[in-house]
Amino acid sequence: MAVSGSTIQANNKLIVFRKEITREYIRQNLFSPYIGSEATAIIRVINDLKKGGEQINIPLIARLKNQPVATGTLVGNEENIDNYGDRAWIDWARNAVKIAASEEQKSSIDLFGEARPLLEDWGKELQRDEICDTFYTIPLASTAPAGLGSTNGQRVNGALLDAATAAQRNTWTTDNADRIMFGGAQSNLVAGNFASSLANITTAMGMSATSILKAKRLAKLANPRIRPYKLKNGREYFVLFVNSYQFRDLQADATIISANTNARPREGDGLEKNPLFQDGDLLYSGVIIREIPELTVRLPIFYTTAGTAGIQTAPAFLCGQSAMAWAWGRMPMPTFLKEDDYQFYRGVGVQMAYGLKKIAKLDLSGKYKEWGIFTMFTYSPSDT
């Protein structure tokens, strides 16, 4: 039997609009523990430009290397102090939100109230992503970044890899031959040829415990020396920033699994700290391995087909102290719309000025060497 009764017309149906807003997830800056103004930081914050100026000079001094003089004449055999001033440029970054009174009147949520936290998230995301972009650059000696002062500005110093010339990539390979490794073996490096060196990477040359140990050994021998991130009881620690695919391969590495299975404590809160069960950094033989998902997202196109038979490769960055400079001219500050058309529009913005640069030194032979980074290139296949 059919049930009769009144039907609620569509316009009379109850619609409940929540006031609480859910914003899109913005991942925190996973570089943050390694950013600071102290000399031991991997990413060195420099605030000198807050007093004015567009560029900052970063003085670098190499260690003394002369053989000692015993009974011979010291006069005339003094050693020159090998010094260099590395330059970093800053540029502006701004954004704003503007809302008309007519749109606020229509809205069931406090849209303007969300503007400031959205701008804060935008600024943090920009900074994090541009740190990734800076790791991927070819540093250039005393050269302002292309796009400096343009519409979008350019806070990343150096040549962005996809925009770099073959000559720039090849020069970088020559200059940094003692602090780069292709596919886990120095023999894969083709002298003076970046593309050919990457092309020697095969599918058997993914990120592994073995390659990390070799990179750490080579980093200790690099000249100028790479100062470890920290020293503890005579042990030297470096930090390795890897993308998500490289981290995946290390989590599955039998040697690292064995180390975490056999060497980690089982009592107390051992389970809570064991990376076999918890997300977070890996630690292997004095190397802190940190996954940076944005290194995956922002991988330059150049690397996606650079290996043997067009396989995807990627760099990872074994870092010591003063690997990168982060020069600030203006810390993020809020701005407000003035041309409001008789208070019909409201607007809020943010502005900041900074520059990011891999620190590098021009040595006496004319080679421009990165100061605190050893770069590992590996096979890095996407998930299928």
DSSP 322-339: T-EEEEEEEEEEEEE---
Residue 271 pLDDT > 60: no
How much is the average pLDDT of 244-272?
A: 81
Strands (E), 176-243: 180-182, 230-232, 235-242
Residue 272 pLDDT > 80: no
Q: Cβ(167)–Cβ(157) under 8 Å?
A: no
**Per-residue pLDDT at 277:** 57
Q: Which of 186, 219, 188, 182 is nearest to 315 (CA)?
A: 182
Average pLDDT score, the chain: 91
Angle at 239 between CA 238 and CA 243, to 5 degrees: 145
Query: Which of 100-114, 165-179, 193-207, 289-303 is predicted least confidently?
Result: 100-114
How much is the average pLDDT of 151-167?
A: 97
pLDDT band at 19 (very low <50, low <70, confident <90, very high): low
Percent of the chain at pLDDT > 90 equals: 73
CA–CA gap between residue 274 and residue 352 (Å, rounded): 40
| DSSP-derived 3-state class of residue 295 | helix
| DSSP-derived 3-state class of residue 254 | helix
| Alpha-carbon separation of residue 165 from 67, 170, 171, 373 (angstroms) | 40, 9, 10, 22
More confident residue, 56 or 3: 56
Global pTM value: 0.91
How much is the average pLDDT of 29-35?
A: 94
Residue 170 pLDDT > 90: yes
pLDDT band at 56 (very low <50, low <70, confident <90, very high): very high
Q: Given the DSSP bridges, would you call strands 180-182 and 91-100 parallel, antiparallel or unpaired?
A: unpaired
Q: Which of 156, 162, 158, 194 is nearest to 175 (CA)?
A: 194
Residue 18 pLDDT > 70: no
